[in-house]
Chain A
Amino acid sequence: MIPQPTSSVSGAYRAGREIVLDVRNLRIHYETPRGDVIAVNGISFQVYKGEIVGLVGESGCGKTTAAMGILQLVPSPGRILSGEILINGRNMLGLTEAELRERRWRELSLIPQGAMNSLNPVMRVRDQIGDAILTHEGAIPKDKLKARILELFSLVGLPPRVYDLYPHELSGGMKQRVCIAMAIVLNPPVIIADEPTSALDVVVQRVVAQTLLDVKERLGVSMIMIGHDMGLQAQMVDRVIVMYAGNIVEVTPVMPAFHNPLHPYTQLLIASIPSIKERKPLKITTGLTHDLRNPPPGCSFQLRCPHVMDICKRVPPAMIEREPDHWVACYLYGKEEQQG
C-alpha cells in the first residue's frame, strides 16, 4: 500500500521500513580524451525492504550507469570514483574480485534489458539456471536441483517443459521469465531490473509485469526498476527516483510523482507523457542538456528550466524533504533552508 501524499505523519512511508540497499555519494565518470564525462554525480539513495523503486530520466541521464555501478559492472572507460554501496549494512565497494563474485548474484542480481541476448544460446535452460546454483552453493543432488528449478518455474509462470529447451525455442516473454527465474534463484535481497519488459509486445509486457509483481510480493524482495516508460512506472513502482544529467533531482512515493511533481524537470517529464485515457495538447520543450564533461556551476537543469533564478546558476541546490518522504533539489522550495 502506498500512503497518500497528504499524510500529516512525518516520514509515513519510511516509518518502520528496513533499509536494504543504501547508496552513498556514488560517483561514476567515463574517462575520455577530452575530459571526464560525469555520468553519475555523487548520488545517494535508499531502497527499503520489499519495495520497487523506479529509476527514471531521459537517455544519458545516468540511470543505467548508476545501476551498473551498484552491480560494479560499469563498462570501461567508466570508473567508480567514490561512494559506498551498502547491502544490509555491508559495503560492496572495495571488495576483491573473488569476494565480489561470491556475493554478487547472492545479494544483488540483474534482470537485463534484452532477454533475447542475455541467455547462452547453446545451453539448455536447465543448465543455465543449474549453473548459477552450483557455482554458489556447491554440488547438490540432481533430483534436488531439478525440483528446485521446477519450483522456480512455477513461481515465474513457466511450464515445466521449458526445463529441457534451448533459448531459441522460447518466445520473448518466456525468455524474459527465464531471466527473472535466474535473478531470484539465490533469493537475493535486491534485484536490479533494467527496462525488464521494454522489448516485449504490450500484452506480453502486461503478463511479465504481473509475474514481477507476484515475485516481489511472494519473496519480499526489493527491486530497482530502470525505465523510461512512465506508464509502466506508474503501474509498478512504489517510489520514484528522478535523475537528470547525473544528479538525483527528486525522490518521491509514486502518487505525488504523478499528481504533485515538484521539480521542474519532473513536471516536464510527467506533462510530456502521452496517455491513452486523455487527449491533450502536446507539451513541447526546448533547450538541450549541458555537456556532461563540463557542467555549469549550480543546478544541472538550469539550461532548460522555465523558472531559473540567479542562484540556480551559482550553487547547486541540496535535497530537501518538502513533504513527508518527498525530496526535491530545487530553489523554488525555500532558498534560505538550502543555503543554510
Chain B
Amino acid sequence: MTTATPLLEVRNATKIYGGGFLQRGNRVVALQNFSMVIPEKPAIITTIAGESGSGKTTLANAILGFISLTSGQILYKGQDITTLKGQAATAYRREVQAVFQDPYEVYNPFYRVKHIYDMVIAHLNLGYSKAQARELIEQSLRVVGLRGEEVLEKYPHQLSGGQRQRVMVARAYMMNPRLIIADEPVSAVDASLRAMILDVMLKLRDDLGVSFLYITHDLSTAYQIGDDIYVLYQGSIAERGRTVDVIERPKHPYVQMLISSVPVPDPMVKWGTVLEGVADESLRATVESGCRFYPRCPNRMDRCLKAMPPLYPVGDHGQQAACYLYEKP
C-alpha cells in the first residue's frame, strides 16, 4: 500500500554499552534489533512504552543523535542520519525536536523565558524584524494556550510546572517540526495539567500535521492519545501494533502482566493479581540468549531459552508479539 518513503525509519537498531576491551564483564544491551516506521502521512503519535531500563530513552537519544548506535540505522526521509551533512543536517535538527521529562531542568534559571525563544529565532536565521519575531513567538505560544505577557518576561521558577512544559512544546513547535520526540513529557506534572499537555499534542497532530514519538512508562496516557505502540522489555520489542489493540487485547505474557498491574482509577474494578513469584525481581537475571522475559514468564517453555523469539502476527492491523506461544505450526 504505502510505498512512500517513511518520515522516520529505524532498522535493526542495537546499542550495547560497555563490553569493550577493559570491561568485558559489563556488557549491557540497552537496545536490541529494534525496528520501527513512522509514516510520512498522516501524522501519528507513536508510543514507546516500557519500564525503567527497557531502552526507551536510549532510542530517543539515538534518534536525536546524542549517542551513536552499535549497529543498525536510523533513516530520516530515507537518509541515514549519521551521513547527513550541511543543509540536510540542519533541516533534520530543525524538523525533529525534543521535549523532555523535567520541564525545570532544561531551563537556564538566570535567563527570562523570552531568551529561549530569542535563541531559537537567532538559530533559525530568518532575518526577522523584532516585530515579526514577536509575532512568531506569540503565535507559537497561542498554539499551546499561553499568552506572551503571561510568560515571556518571567523567570523559569515563576512558572507553574504545566506552563514550563507548554513553553517547551511551543519552543519545539516554533521550529516548524515534522516530528517531536517527547520523553515522558507529562510524568512530572499534575493530573489536571497533564490533560492540557496531552491535548496540545493531539492538536499539533491533527491541525498541524506534527508526528510524535511519545516515550512513556504510563500506559494509561498512551491509551488515551496514542496511535501506534511499541512495548519494550529489556531492549527488545515485546509487542507492537495499534495502541487500542495492544492495550485492550495484549498477547505477550509480559504485556498482559504489565496491563493487569496498572491500577484502575475505579474502586469497583478489581485490581489484577500478579502471580506470586513470577514478578520476583531477583529472577531478573540477564538471559544470554533467548527470551529476556523467561525468568518472569508464567508461560515459559524450554525453547524460550535457546533463541530470542521473533515477532509473530497476533492480531489485526499488524499487531505482533515476540513470543513462541504464537508460532504457527
Q: Contact mask A258-291 → B, CB, 8 Å, 1/0?
A: 1100000000111011111101101111101000
Given A203-B279, A228-B190, is A284 in contact with B196 using a C-beta cutoff of 8 Å? yes
Interface: B78 (CB within 8 A)? no
CA distance A59 to B221 in the complex (A): 19
Q: Are B195 and A203 in contact (CB under 8 A)?
A: no
Q: Are B271 and A235 in contact (CB under 8 A)?
A: yes
Q: Are B196 and A285 in contact (CB under 8 A)?
A: yes
CA distance A171 to B257 in the complex (A): 19
Q: Which residue of A lies closest to B188 (CB)?
A: A59
Q: Which residue of B lies closest to A237 (CB)?
A: B267
Return chain A residues, CB-CB under 8 Å to B273. Answer: 210
Return chain A residues, CB-CB under 8 Å to B262. Answer: 202, 231, 276
Q: Which residue of A lies closest to B271 (CB)?
A: A235
Give the residue of B195, B217, B272 whose beta carbon is less than 8 angstroms from that of A282.
Answer: B195
Interface: A201 (CB within 8 A)? yes
Interface: A174 (CB within 8 A)? yes
Interface: B77 (CB within 8 A)? no
CA distance A174 to B283 in the complex (A): 13
Interface: A206 (CB within 8 A)? yes
Q: Which residue of A lies closest to B145 (CB)?
A: A286
Give the residue of A202, A269, A275, A280 whose beta carbon is less than 8 angstroms from that of B261.
Answer: A202
Return chain B residues, CB-CB under 8 Å to A234. Answer: 263-267, 269
Return chain B residues, CB-CB under 8 Å to A228. Answer: 190-191
Return chain B residues, CB-CB under 8 Å to A173. Answer: 281
Q: Are B263 and A229 in contact (CB under 8 A)?
A: yes
Q: Are B223 and A58 in contact (CB under 8 A)?
A: no
Return chain B residues, CB-CB under 8 Å to A205. Answer: 261, 263
Give the residue of A277, A279, A282 whose beta carbon is less than 8 angstroms from that of B199.
Answer: A282
Interface: B91 (CB within 8 A)? no
Q: Contact mask B245-279 → A, CB, 8 Å, 1/0?
A: 00100000000011101111111110111100001
Given A202-B217, A230-B191, A284-B199, is A275 in contact with B264 using a C-beta cutoff of 8 Å? yes
Q: Are A276 and B220 in contact (CB under 8 A)?
A: yes
CA distance A277 to B267 in the complex (A): 13
CA distance A10 to B10 in the complex (A): 62
Return chain B residues, CB-CB under 8 Å to A80. Answer: none
Q: Are B195 and A231 in contact (CB under 8 A)?
A: no
Q: Are B160 and A288 in contact (CB under 8 A)?
A: yes
For window 162-181 of A, CB contacts with B under 8 Å fall at 171-174
Return chain A residues, CB-CB under 8 Å to B269. Answer: 234, 277
- A9: shortest Cβ distance to chain B, in Å? 20
CA distance A172 to B52 in the complex (A): 11
For window 183-197 of B, CB contacts with A under 8 Å fall at 190-196
Interface: B161 (CB within 8 A)? yes
- B259: shortest Cβ distance to chain A, in Å? 7
Given A207-B274, A231-B220, A282-B224, is A277 in contact with B263 using a C-beta cutoff of 8 Å? no
Q: Contact mask B211-226 → A, CB, 8 Å, 1/0?
A: 0000001111101110
State the interface size on chain A (CB cutoff 8 A).
Answer: 48
- A37: shortest Cβ distance to chain B, in Å? 14
Given A269-B191, A272-B192, is A254 in contact with B267 using a C-beta cutoff of 8 Å? yes
Q: Which residue of A lies closest to B51 (CB)?
A: A201
CA distance A235 to B270 in the complex (A): 7
Q: Are B274 and A203 in contact (CB under 8 A)?
A: yes
Interface: A219 (CB within 8 A)? no
Interface: A232 (CB within 8 A)? yes
Interface: A255 (CB within 8 A)? yes
Interface: B244 (CB within 8 A)? yes
CA distance A108 to B192 in the complex (A): 32
Interface: A204 (CB within 8 A)? yes
Interface: A2 (CB within 8 A)? yes
CA distance A206 to B257 in the complex (A): 10
Give the residue of A206, A235, A272 whose beta carbon is less than 8 angstroms from that of B195.
Answer: A272
Interface: B289 (CB within 8 A)? no
Q: Are B195 and A285 in contact (CB under 8 A)?
A: yes
Interface: B87 (CB within 8 A)? no
Most buried by B among A206, A257, A258: A206
For window 124-172 of B, CB contacts with A under 8 Å fall at 145, 160-161
Given A203-B279, A231-B264, A234-B267, is A276 in contact with B219 using a C-beta cutoff of 8 Å? yes
Given A171-B284, A202-B51, A228-B190, is A276 in contact with B195 using a C-beta cutoff of 8 Å? no
Q: Are A276 and B264 in contact (CB under 8 A)?
A: yes
Give the residue of A2, A269, A279 whose beta carbon is less than 8 angstroms from that of B224.
Answer: A279
Return chain A residues, CB-CB under 8 Å to B221. Answer: 274
Q: Are B271 and A201 in contact (CB under 8 A)?
A: no
CA distance A275 to B266 in the complex (A): 9
Interface: B2 (CB within 8 A)? no
Q: Are B264 and A284 in contact (CB under 8 A)?
A: no
Q: Which residue of B lies closest to A304 (CB)?
A: B192
CA distance A282 to B191 in the complex (A): 11
Given A2-B267, A171-B281, is A203 in contact with B261 using a C-beta cutoff of 8 Å? yes
- A97: shortest Cβ distance to chain B, in Å? 34
Q: Are B192 and A269 in contact (CB under 8 A)?
A: yes
CA distance A234 to B263 in the complex (A): 8
Q: Are A258 and B266 in contact (CB under 8 A)?
A: yes
CA distance A269 to B194 in the complex (A): 11
Return chain A residues, CB-CB under 8 Å to B220. Answer: 231, 273-276
Q: Which residue of A lies closest to B219 (CB)?
A: A276
Besides A202-B51, A206-B271, A274-B198, 5 other A-B contacts (C-beta < 8 A): A201-B52, A210-B274, A231-B263, A232-B263, A259-B268
**What are 20 A-to-B residue pairs whose CB atoms are below 8 Å?**
A173-B281, A201-B217, A203-B258, A204-B281, A207-B279, A209-B263, A228-B190, A231-B263, A258-B268, A259-B266, A269-B191, A270-B265, A274-B220, A276-B259, A277-B269, A279-B244, A282-B195, A282-B199, A282-B202, A288-B160
Lowest 8 A-B CB distances belong to which pairs?
A: A231-B263, A201-B51, A206-B261, A58-B190, A171-B281, A274-B220, A282-B195, A235-B263
